Amino acid sequence: MRILIGFVTKFLLVTASIAHAQQPGKVFRIGFLDPTNASGAVMINAVRQELSNLGWIEGKNIVFEYRFTEQKPGRSAELAAELVRLKVDLIVTSGTPSALAAKKATATIPIVMGAPDPVGLGLVDSLARPGGNITGFATLSSELNTKRLEVLKDAVPKLDRVGLLRRSSYNPGEELQLKELTAAAPALKVKLEEIKTELDAQGLENAFKTAKQKRVKAIMTTAIRVFFAARKPIVALAGKYRLPAIYSRKEFVDEGGLMSYGQDNDDHYRKAAHYIDKILKGTKPADLPVQQATKFEFVINLKAAKQIGLNVPPNVLVRADRVIR
């Protein structure tokens, strides 16, 4: 009888072990919260690609939930709450409103964010020790905007008036950028003309008309995601109104824009994917320091310069990482 019981027990243990081994591994669900729309989601595709390189196979051990606010800041809170209800394992955000909405929606689900001055915005306790459930990247938007204004001043002869396109609606990250730019402009002997705009076709057209009325000699935009999503019409209008412009990302230049100066976003996306990988494997967000950009790129499009009759000075050209001829 003891032999029979021992045999049955051993059989049941082996069977249970085999059944457990046959169960598929956990499929992690990642939520993406983006302030633009699917057409502006370059970040998402880049992160997905790097996660694939790290062994995460979509549909097998990872799935994605995408939520786009369609340039409507008021939807951030609603969509963040929706991702929390779905019980995603991690939320990735881009832009200040998305990060703030995710922070308000959950104190337990890990969040990987990208935002200017995460400490000043109250997203983390410090860069070195973020604390809580949030980590990610400080985008340096404010500091880099000042550098862009300096480059624009060097590239455009006798530049004394710059039009700054900004959203009509309030954005706390944008306000930080405006504060830095307003302080930097007098030292460069440049008058900054704020031009509020909506992101639809008519709104952007009106913004450029206003820029011409204010007699600005060049333009730039605040470095927020919604302007990136509208890069095609913005670049086209800058050409139409023959206004030199500098942008925050190289994709503007890829669309025919004049110049860009900003962080190397490919490097940024790779690092974001590695943070996601670490967190899904058990690392706590509080133990991952918020990173700042270390790689930057300056791109000039001489074709665009020729179209608006601008001769870019040689001392500016030699500083470029890439020149499109």
Task: Give the Cα separation of 310 and 259 in Å (integer).
Answer: 12
Q: How confident is the model at residue 173 (pLDDT cuts 50, 70, 90)?
A: confident
Task: Give the Cα separation of 324 and 322 in Å (integer).
Answer: 7
- Is the entire prediction scored with pTM above 0.95? no
- 47-56, 133-142, 282-291: segment of lowest average pLDDT: 133-142
Contact yes or no for 134/107 (Cβ under 8 A): no
Contact yes or no for 323/259 (Cβ under 8 A): no
State the pLDDT at residue 172. 85
The Cα-based distances of 37 to 66, 71, 169, 220, 228 in angstroms read: 10, 7, 18, 22, 11
Q: Which residue has the higher pLDDT, 46 or 186?
A: 186
Percent of the chain with pLDDT over 70: 92
State the pLDDT at residue 24. 55
In the predicted structure, residue 261 carries a pLDDT above the cut 60: yes
Contact yes or no for 65/86 (Cβ under 8 A): yes
Contact yes or no for 238/219 (Cβ under 8 A): yes
Task: Give the Cα separation of 95 and 84 in Å (integer).
Answer: 18
Most confident option among 91-100, 168-177, 231-240: 231-240
State the pLDDT at residue 40. 60
Q: Give 208-242 as a DSSP string.
A: HHHHHHTT-SEEEE-S-HHHHHTHHHHHHHHHHTT
End-to-end, the C-alpha distance of the chain in Å comes to 89
CA angle 233, 227, 126 (to 5 degrees): 165
Q: How confident is the model at residue 313 (pLDDT cuts 50, 70, 90)?
A: very high
In the predicted structure, residue 191 carries a pLDDT above the cut 50: yes
Closest CA to 33 of 87, 95, 89, 86: 95
User: Rounded mean pLDDT of 110-126?
Assistant: 93
Domain 141-263+297-324 bears CATH identifier 3.40.50.300: no
Tokens of 209: 């008309």
Domain 28-139+264-295 bears CATH identifier 3.10.129.10: no
In the predicted structure, residue 129 carries a pLDDT above the cut 80: yes
314's enclosing H/E stretch is: helix 314-317
User: Rounded mean pLDDT of 174-199?
Assistant: 93
In the predicted structure, residue 14 carries a pLDDT above the cut 50: no
User: Rounded mean pLDDT of 10-27?
Assistant: 49
Q: Which residue has the higher pLDDT, 171 or 198?
A: 198
Q: How confident is the model at residue 20 (pLDDT cuts 50, 70, 90)?
A: very low
Strand order across the 134-138 sheet: 62-68, 28-34, 90-93, 111-115, 134-138, 291-292
Tokens of 117: 């001055």
User: Rounded mean pLDDT of 141-154?
Assistant: 90
- 13-17, 26-30, 103-107, 241-245: segment of lowest average pLDDT: 13-17
Strand order across the 259-263 sheet: 191-197, 161-167, 218-221, 245-247, 259-263, 296-301, 322-324
Task: Give the Cα separation of 42 and 182 in Å (integer).
Answer: 30
State the pLDDT at residue 28. 98
Q: Which residue ranges make up each domain of the chain?
A: 28-139+264-295, 141-263+297-324
